[in-house]
Amino acid sequence: MHEMSIIESLLDAVRAELVKYPGAQVTVVRVRVGALRLVVPDVMESCYAAATLGTPLEGSRLELEAVAATARCPQCQREFAVQEQWFECPKCQAVGGELLTGQELDLMNIELEETGAVATA
Ligand SMILES: [Zn+2]
C-alpha cells in the first residue's frame, strides 16, 4: 500500500511547516496529487486518519485535488491528455512525449483553526 508512505512524507512536510506556528490546531491539509501517482483517494484519507491518530493532527481532514496527466508531443508540440500512461500524440502519433503534469504531490496549504489558511512554498 504505497499511500501510507506518501502520507508519511506529506506529514513530514506538514510538521516542518507547523514548526512556525507553535500550538496551532490544524483543521485541513490540502494536497495536489497527479493522476500518475495512482493513489486511491479513499485509501489516502483512511491512511491519513490512521497516521494522525494520537498526534496533534488527529481530527484534521485531508483534502485532495486531482491533477490530470498531460504531455507535450516531441514532434508537433501538441499538448495532450495522457491515457493509461501511454504517451502517444493523438495528432501525429509520435511517442515519447514530455510529461507536463501528472506527477504532482504538492502540499498546497494547511488550514489552522482561527488563524486561517497558511500558504506553503
Ligand atoms: Zn504530435
Q: Does some domain include residue 62?
A: yes
**Domain hosting residue 25, numbered range:** 2-68+102-115
Is 10 part of a structural domain of the chain?
A: yes
pLDDT tens sequence across 54-95:
999 999 999 999 999 999 999 999 999 998 667 899 999 999
Residue 26 is assigned to a structural domain of this protein: yes
Report d(CA 120, CA 34) in Å as an integer: 18
CATH assignment at residue 106: 3.30.2320.50
Q: How far apart are CA 112 and CA 98, in angstroms?
A: 38
* CA 81 to ligand 1 centroid distance, Å: 12
Residue 35 lies in a domain: yes
Q: Are 36 and 85 in contact (CB under 8 A)?
A: yes
The reported pTM is 0.82
- The verdict on residue 81 lying in a domain is no
Note whether residue 74 is domain-resident: no
Work out the average pLDDT over 27-31. Answer: 97
As for how many domains the chain has, the answer is 1
> How far is the centre of ligand 1, averaged over its atoms, from the C-alpha of 69 (Å)?
16
